[in-house]
Amino acid sequence: MASAMTDPDLIARYDGRLPRYTSYPTAPHFHGGVGAAEYAEWLSALPPEAAISLYLHVPFCDRLCLYCGCHTTVAHHERPKRLYAQALAREIGLLANALGRKALVTQIHWGGGTPTALPGDCLEGLMNLIRERFRVAPGAEIAIEIDPAALPAEKLDALAGMGLTRASLGVQDFEERVQKTIGRMQSFDETLDAAIMLRKLGVRSINLDLIYGLPHQTEASVVHTARQALELEPDRAAVFGYAHVPWMKKHQALIPEAALPVGAARLQQEAAIRKVLAEEGGLVPVGLDHYARPEDEMAKAAQTGKLQRGFQGYTTDLAPVLIGLGASAIGALPQGYVQNQPNIPAYEAVVAQGHFPVSRGIVLRDEDRLRRAVIERIMCDLAVDIPAMARAFGAGEQVLLADAAPLSGFAEDGLVDWDGRRVTVTERGRPFVRNVAALFDAYLRQADNTKPCHASAV
Ligand code: SF4
């Protein structure tokens, strides 16, 4: 059987616009029927011993990379950033008051945007406030996303005071032609310096983000970038396919579409990076797009079926509650998902009035929980036993097995092993794991698929 990368018919059949399944139901299905009142009720119903994870979103950057799919804005002045930090502090206070106790926090993730766009004293002040209002577990993971080109020396003291344990450095690609086209100039030395400085601050784990499918990338160029990335001795790496969605992210329209690799070329780039990271770097592939040192807890979680999938991609975080703080941040609670107001002034205004800035969300039904578990195991373990999962949720298996009917065709194409009960994604099928997961997405079938809202599956 030909490799998936060299079979254009296969790519044509399975290429479509599919979610990345960082949640189920996925964010496009959140709605305005869930708001601040529901969120407050959900928080007050949490068991006192429930551990929580915090995600703090900082929607500012010093530059706008043309490929960016994040919720962010370019801000050069300090005032809007300080106002935003005040709003974050207010939201932290609202949360602590609603919980009515010093809840146990096992993970804190600063994302964006560029978290270090906030003034250093704001970053430190917010961390101190979190430690004051919550019980941060000894050994809690405190992670931050770093733009190596936006790490001025005066921020280092603040970062040192935050007790960071993990940093995620955006690399994407080291080739100058690619960097110029995507508006993100960043030398290898700059990135190396950032990694060295962060390690000196006590950050014990460095993650690198790489992207394939960017304009002008070739198989040879991504191999070169991956080899340079290994020189930084990362503990983890994440390799994402560029999602070209200019109808949602207007600045992406400035990327010349003719320079974008498509279909088989994207798959070949992904496979080439994978080979370098795994075979030359000794990193263990984790799920669809992550890599970790064999001794890293993420690699261990993947081997023991404990890997989780959340809004930041793969994670080892087992906390049953994720609280999103900041404009556009998403929270995941046992009762459902909530998303904050994405507009920064509107977010700040609502918080200033003493209300949770939730603008939409979704209540989880029993069927959603079962389908979410099936999709999460496919995305994390690349395998799931459907009747066993249905039993674990006290549900019948018939509906899921009916959804699984197309797997016979997937098996004929060599993408999965399927015995009518358990599906395992094969190595050939690994790039198509989202196609397998999507079979169990009841919302996708109901969606108006004439409106593109997801990125290409391949
Ligand atoms: S630094 Fe990151 S978040 Fe900011 S524009 Fe670039 S890719 Fe987007």
What structural domains does the chain harbor?
18-363 (3.80.30.20), 366-445 (1.10.10.920)
From the CA of 61, how far away is ligand 1's center (Å)? Answer: 6
Give pLDDT tens digits for 209-260.
999 999 999 999 999 999 999 999 999 999 999 999 999 999 999 999 999 9
Ligand 1, atom 5: closest residue by C-alpha: 64
Mean pLDDT in residue range 421-435? 94
Answer yes or no: are the C-beta atoms of 232 and 293 closer than 8 Å.
no
**What string of DSSP letters covers 331-355?**
EEETTEEEEE--SHHHHHHHHHTT-
Answer yes or no: are the C-beta atoms of 68 and 251 closer than 8 Å.
yes
In degrees, rounded to 5, the angle at the alpha carbon of residue 453 between the alpha carbons of residues 244 and 313 is: 75
Question: Quick one: three-class SS letters along 266-301?
Answer: HHHHHHHHHHHHHHHCCCEEECCCEEECCCCHHHHH
pLDDT score recorded for residue 397: 96
User: With 50 as the cut, is the pLDDT of residue 450 above it?
Assistant: no
Q: Pick the more confident residue, 454 or 168.
A: 168
From the CA of 132, how far away is ligand 1's center (Å)? Answer: 30
User: With 90 as the cut, is the pLDDT of residue 370 above it?
Assistant: yes
Mean pLDDT in residue range 50-62? 96
Pocket test for ligand 1, best of 57, 58, 64 (most atoms within 8 A of CB): 64
User: With 60 as the cut, is the pLDDT of residue 442 above it?
Assistant: yes
From the CA of 369, how far away is ligand 1's center (Å)? Answer: 32
pLDDT score recorded for residue 77: 94
Mean pLDDT in residue range 377-395? 97
Q: Pick the more confident residue, 201 or 447.
A: 201
User: With 70 as the cut, is the pLDDT of residue 1 above it?
Assistant: no
Mean pLDDT in residue range 149-171? 91
Answer yes or no: are the C-beta atoms of 352 and 87 closer than 8 Å.
yes
Give pLDDT tens digits for 262-296.
888 999 999 999 999 999 999 999 999 999 999 99
**DSSP strands (E only) in 173-297:** 205-212, 236-241, 284-286, 290-292
CA separation for the pair 37, 75 (Å, rounded): 32
From the CA of 167, how far away is ligand 1's center (Å)? Answer: 15
User: With 90 as the cut, is the pLDDT of residue 208 above it?
Assistant: yes
What residue ranges line ligand 1, CB within 6 angstroms?
61, 64-65, 68, 70, 72, 112-114, 147, 170
pLDDT score recorded for residue 352: 98
pLDDT score recorded for residue 101: 87
Give pLDDT tens digits for 105-146.
999 999 999 999 999 999 999 999 999 999 999 999 999 999
Give pLDDT tens digits for 306-357.
999 999 899 999 899 999 999 999 999 999 999 999 999 999 999 999 999 9
From the CA of 116, how far away is ligand 1's center (Å)? Answer: 12
Mean pLDDT in residue range 92-103? 95
* Collapsed DSSP state (helix, strand, coil) of residue 238: strand
